[in-house]
Chains A and B, each alone.
Chain A
Amino acid sequence: DAGVIQSPRHEVTEMGQEVTLRCKPISGHDYLFWYRQTMMRGLELLIYFNNNVPIDDSGMPEDRFSAKMPNASFSTLKIQPSEPRDSAVYFCASSLGAKNGYTFGSGTRLTVV
Chain B
Amino acid sequence: ETGVTQTPRHLVMGMTNKKSLKCEQHLGHNAMYWYKQSAKKPLELMFVYNFKEQTENNSVPSRFSPECPNSSHLFLHLHTLQPEDSALYLCASSQVMGQFYNEQFFGPGTRLTVL
- The answer to whether A and B belong to the same complex is no
